[in-house]
Structure 1
Amino acid sequence: MNSDSLPERLQGTDGIRGKVGLACDFPETDPLSVWIQTDPLSVWIQKKILTEEFFELYTFSFCQNLIDSGWSELGDSIIVGWDTRDPKGIFSDAAIRGIRKSGLTAVSIGVQPTPCVALYQLSREAAGAVVLTASHNPSEQNGIKIFLGHTGLKLFPADDIRLTKTICSTDFKHLKKTPLQGEVIDEEVLARKFFKNVMLDSFNSWVSERSFQKTSLVIDAANGAFIPLLKQMIQELGGADVILCNTSLENGINHNCGVADLEGRHIVEANELSQEPLCHAEALIRILEEGRRKREQNSESITVGLVLDGDGDRCFMPVYDPQKDRIIIIDGDGLAILQLLWLKQNQKTREGQLYLNTVESSLEASRSALKAGCFVKQCAV
């Protein structure tokens, strides 16, 4: 591929994502027998299709960067986790091959939420971590998020540019013939147990034995990465009345579920749940039904939901309003402020403490944090 047509940076704000296809679907000749380039980088740039070969190239290049920069040595570990959009393991197997061909060890932890992958990397002191996901995007898409072991952070733009250069300069024909050098270790059960313990640890969790008394909780798992973990945790949620929705692999990750259809919404009126697109929103419908049932019983309990995205790093909280028979949507900014107010009420914060959000966060969140006595600072996405 002509170097003049290569981009400086392949990634967006959080790794790379797009529609996926198999390398075998891109033969070296088109229907008119005109030769085209079919290496994985060219297929992505020209066709906007991510193949399994691209995943192999991407993870190999990431690992090679770590080695070349001195942040890792041969044999060091890279954590690999993914969401539910690759049930046959075609893309995860390819990503693991890329890691092993670099000489690093692939620690496979299977279907896990993105926060689990990041925290498990830190606990294991791994050189880095790779999450295969397209977040809240449809199931026909996939992608790659990366975490750096020495910082615990995702890649900065300069890191993306460096990685892009390595990808563009790597001969995939040679890489394809490169033997596997590193090991692969399965730690799926260990990682899930670790993350469950982290979330339920009293130091990290605000859930008490009384937290869910008089509460009906509806969880929308988005047919995604949190499913195995949620099924384990339901019994440990302090006696909550829990309804778990959208846990099917057959229906497709994020399909008619998850946070995507709630973006930009603050209120959902009852009649909207009989119209497109929310007529398919099982979790919201269950919240409305359960809330109405409790209202008819003059119950003092509340009905709330947790709506996740496919890889489990975003959450909205729908709350049934019995006075107006509607659902109020609390987004990420709103949840952050509620947590801040809880911390202040329970004397777990101090005057002038830092409240950090991004430039895309709402101004109201910053104003609320200032009003609560915090020092507010914004950062890039």
Structure 2
Amino acid sequence: MSVRKLFGTDGVRGKANSYPMTADMALRIGAAAGRYFRRDRGSAHRVVIGKDTRLSGYMFENALTAGLTSTGMNVLLLGPVPTPCVGLMTRSMRADLGVMISASHNPAEDNGIKFFGPDGFKLSDQAEIEIETLIEAGVEPAQAGNIGRAKRIDDARFRYGERVKSSLPRDLRLDGLKVVIDCANGAAYRAAPEILWELGADVVPVGVSPDGKNINKGCGSTQPQIAAETVVAHGADVGICLDGDADRVILIDEKGRVADGDQLMALLAARWAEEGLLTGGALVATVMSNLGLERFLAGKGIGLERTGVGDRYVVERMRAGGFNLGGEQSGHIVMTDHATTGDGLMAGLHFLAEMVRSGRRASDLAQQFTPVPQLLKNVRFTAGETPLEETSVQDAIAAAEAALLGQGRLLIRKSGTEPLIRVMAECEDAVLLARTVDNVVAAVTSVVAA
């Protein structure tokens, strides 16, 4: 099978106005995607486009629209909406294609383009390879009379809100709960506080003043310190931290302590299994999820299916195996009974629902297991370099694996969204953990620096 060149683990991503994230490339990507999805289909061709709050979103929205309409696709523009809203609207509008313009948790100067198929799920690797082939070959535009139209859809976030609320019991209310919601100055800055308020919560909003340049800056799921301080300062019951496109969530208990996606998945999996709602008897998570999660699930007779890193691979395994709950340690929580992709707000609401149902505090629910000590370090490299193929690096990895044998595990991988080598290990012995990670990092660094 061919190797993708443009697409990473979550679409095309990079620094705005630098290859591959240029207006020209976005136009070509749009034209190729339009041509790909017009094949062997009827006369009505539709694509929905959503975006987050990055300044460059205007540029890419216009470029993609130009490319798509040039091939005869009719474009429906949703404006700033969470990524799961695009998956929802793609199916709801009977579109051929959905597009989300976002670089998720990355800084404001980055941006990305990710695609959803007609079923609302992210595209497969093979589909992305075929689109890349069309980009390289060039696309013949439609005849003048067949050029597509563009139209704005003004109520997308309201439709999304109703879908999110419908995933909860109809009689559930959040009266009496004070909730800090950190929207990362991103795509959910309006939708998330509105939905929580509609459900009766006392809402304390953070990160709801996007200016095009402050998305994820000092806030959101990757930087939850301000939200944690706000929870404590306001005496809130819980904090919900989203990322820039709101497809992931990190929770904060009433004491200001942070809980990651593994803890939330443990809570939901155990609850669903108890109620007979966990299909397949297993949770799907990536190789990054903590060993503590695996042990917790095993103790409750629940299996753990591991995949490569990326929520799209989690979803692919869920669909192939008939599982309905999966996610990532980083906070992508996928509930395919209700959504086609990770939905940070929906997952956060299900945590709140469990607080209401059980009458327990967030601190009791957000610490389901004791994590095995985990250490992750990143080494940046230059495009074109292949540090993991160097003999010295492979020797260092083999030595680290031998040192951890029977005591922990080592995971080395290239990031799918940034030029980084990620070195992660888990081990109860803190000294051994630090030494093995540092030795591998040193080996990779020496090759990159050379």
TM-score, structure 2 normalization: 0.62
- For the 8 Å contact 1:307–1:315, the answer to whether it is kept is yes
Q: How does 1:325-340 map to 2 (within 5 A)?
A: 327-340=256-269
Match of 1:33 in 2: none
Match of 1:166 in 2: 134
**Aligned residue type for 1:314:** R
Match of 1:313 in 2: 247
Q: Closer, same or farther in 2 for the Cα pair 1:144/1:354, shift >3 Å?
A: same
2:203 corresponds to 1:242: yes
**Aligned residue type for 1:340:** A
2:274 corresponds to 1:357: no
Q: Is the partner of 1:61 in helix, strand or coil?
A: helix
2:228 corresponds to 1:284: yes
2:253 corresponds to 1:253: no
Deviation digits for residues 274-327 of structure 1 (CA, Å, limit 9, x no counterpart)? xxxxxxx43222112124xxxxxxxxxx62110000001000001133xxxxx3
- d(CA) in 2 for partners of 1:177 and 1:94? 19
**Aligned residue type for 2:168:** S
Deviation digits for residues 27-73 of structure 1 (CA, Å, limit 9, x no counterpart)? xxxxxxxxxxxxxxxx62xxxx52222111111111211223x3x44
Deviation digits for residues 131-154 of structure 1 (CA, Å, limit 9, x no counterpart)? 0000000111111011111x4321
- For the 8 Å contact 1:207–1:237, the answer to whether it is kept is no
User: Given the alignment, which residue of 68, 73, 81 partners 1:99?
Assistant: 68
User: Given the alignment, which residue of 15, 18, 21 partners 2:14?
Assistant: 18
2:163 corresponds to 1:198: yes
- d(CA) in 2 for partners of 1:18 and 1:331? 26
Q: Is the partner of 1:143 in helix, strand or coil?
A: strand
2:64 corresponds to 1:121: no
Match of 1:187 in 2: 153
User: Given the alignment, which residue of 100, 110, 113 partners 1:144?
Assistant: 113
The Cα of 1:231 is off from its aligned counterpart by: 4.0
Deviation digits for residues 76-108 of structure 1 (CA, Å, limit 9, x no counterpart)? 111110001037722211111111111111111
Q: Closer, same or farther in 2 for the Cα pair 1:50/1:122, shift >3 Å?
A: same
Q: Closer, same or farther in 2 for the Cα pair 1:188/1:199, shift >3 Å?
A: same
Q: Is the partner of 2:10 in helix, strand or coil?
A: coil
Q: Closer, same or farther in 2 for the Cα pair 1:348/1:200, shift >3 Å?
A: farther
The Cα of 1:220 is off from its aligned counterpart by: 0.4
The Cα of 1:257 is off from its aligned counterpart by: 0.9
Match of 1:30 in 2: none
2:305 corresponds to 1:343: no
**Aligned residue type for 2:5:** R
Q: Closer, same or farther in 2 for the Cα pair 1:187/1:116, shift >3 Å?
A: same
Q: Closer, same or farther in 2 for the Cα pair 1:161/1:351, shift >3 Å?
A: closer
Deviation digits for residues 149-182 of structure 1 (CA, Å, limit 9, x no counterpart)? 1x432122222222211111117xx869988701
The Cα of 1:207 is off from its aligned counterpart by: 7.9
Match of 2:378 in 1: none
Q: Is the partner of 2:253 in helix, strand or coil?
A: strand
**Aligned residue type for 2:243:** D
Q: Is the partner of 1:316 in helix, strand or coil?
A: strand
Deviation digits for residues 229-282 of structure 1 (CA, Å, limit 9, x no counterpart)? 1243243122x22100111122611111112235xxxxxxxxxxxxxxxxxx43
- For the 8 Å contact 1:224–1:254, the answer to whether it is kept is yes
Q: Could you list the runs of 5+ residues in structure 2 that have no partner in the other structure?
A: 311-450
The Cα of 1:336 is off from its aligned counterpart by: 1.4
Q: Closer, same or farther in 2 for the Cα pair 1:89/1:179, shift >3 Å?
A: farther
- d(CA) in 2 for partners of 1:178 and 1:52? 22
- d(CA) in 1 for partners of 2:161 and 2:80? 14
Match of 2:5 in 1: 9
Q: Closer, same or farther in 2 for the Cα pair 1:226/1:350, shift >3 Å?
A: closer
Match of 2:36 in 1: 65
- d(CA) in 2 for partners of 1:177 and 1:138? 40
- d(CA) in 2 for partners of 1:74 and 1:371? 54
**Aligned residue type for 2:238:** V
- For the 8 Å contact 1:86–1:92, the answer to whether it is kept is no
- For the 8 Å contact 2:228–2:252, the answer to whether it is kept is yes
Identity of aligned residues (%): 28
Q: Closer, same or farther in 2 for the Cα pair 1:310/1:179, shift >3 Å?
A: farther
- d(CA) in 2 for partners of 1:308 and 1:226? 8
- d(CA) in 2 for partners of 1:339 and 1:102? 44
2:100 corresponds to 1:131: yes
